[in-house]
């Protein structure tokens, strides 16, 4: 009987500590609220979570891309031959954008202040969101894409652009400025 009370008491304390110490939810609404606030500075943990979320978005895009390719190749969608060739070329572009985005996220994990990698990742996300919005406008593809197209656009523009790319570019701009040159005193002497 005594052991049960101790066990139950310990379980209640454990659950109490677990509920208090839950990790913060780093989802799209969290980063959107951060992007819309006046203070845009992200902590190191938030920057890491942002890259994790972007990597998940890219993996989700890869999965959707594979499903779309399978749907076109198996005839599951009602797409004519010429249209199918066009959409397959777009999906190949997406493959390159996804691969580039994944490479840039890995590079940004190693070197978070790498401006070129940030720009390439932003461009990959924008290209993907543009293509996925085009897929979403086709009735035969919209079931595969769903809400991922507008979500991807939100991750790219207000979130990544405002929270990572702009602050990084501003810091590089400040680093790049050279201090103003001091005026040299004119030599006093003979004038020619």
Residue 155: inside a domain:
yes
pLDDT in tens, 71-112: 888 888 878 877 888 889 999 999 999 999 999 999 999 998
C-alpha distance from residue 156 to each of 24, 29, 68, 111, 128 (Å): 21, 14, 22, 20, 9
Residue 25: inside a domain:
no
Residue 5: inside a domain:
no
SS (H, E, C) 7-69: HHHHHHHHHHHHHHCCCCCCCHHHHHHHHHCCCCCCCHHHHHHHHHHHHHHHHHHHHHHHHHH
Domain that holds residue 144: 43-172
For residue 147, the domain's CATH number is 1.20.120
81 and 148 Cβ atoms separated by less than 8 Å: no
What pLDDT does residue 38 have? Answer: 79
Taking residue 135's Cβ as centre, other Cβ atoms within 10 Å add up to 21
What pLDDT does residue 178 have? Answer: 53
- Global pTM reads 0.75
Count how many domains the chain has: 1
């Amino acid at each position: 009987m005594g052991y049960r009370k101790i066990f139950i008491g310990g379980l209640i304390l454990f659950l109490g500590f677990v509920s208090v110490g839950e990790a913060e939810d780093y989802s799209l609404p969290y980063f959107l609220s951060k992007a819309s606030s006046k203070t845009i500075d992200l902590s190191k943990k938030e920057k890491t979570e942002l890259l994790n979320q972007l990597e998940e978005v890219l993996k989700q895009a890869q999965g959707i891309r594979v499903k779309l390719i399978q749907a076109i190749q198996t005839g599951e969608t009602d797409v004519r031959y010429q249209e199918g060739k066009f959409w397959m070329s777009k999906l190949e572009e997406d493959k390159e954008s996804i691969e580039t985005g994944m490479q840039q996220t890995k590079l940004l994990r190693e070197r978070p202040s790498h401006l070129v990698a940030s720009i390439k990742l932003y461009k990959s996300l924008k290209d993907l969101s543009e293509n996925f919005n085009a897929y979403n406008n086709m009735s035969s593809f919209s079931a595969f894409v769903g809400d991922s197209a507008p979500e991807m656009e939100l991750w790219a523009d207000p979130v990544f652009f405002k929270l990572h790319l702009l602050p990084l570019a501003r810091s590089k701009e400040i680093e790049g400025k050279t201090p103003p040159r001091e005026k040299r005193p004119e030599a006093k002497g003979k004038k020619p």
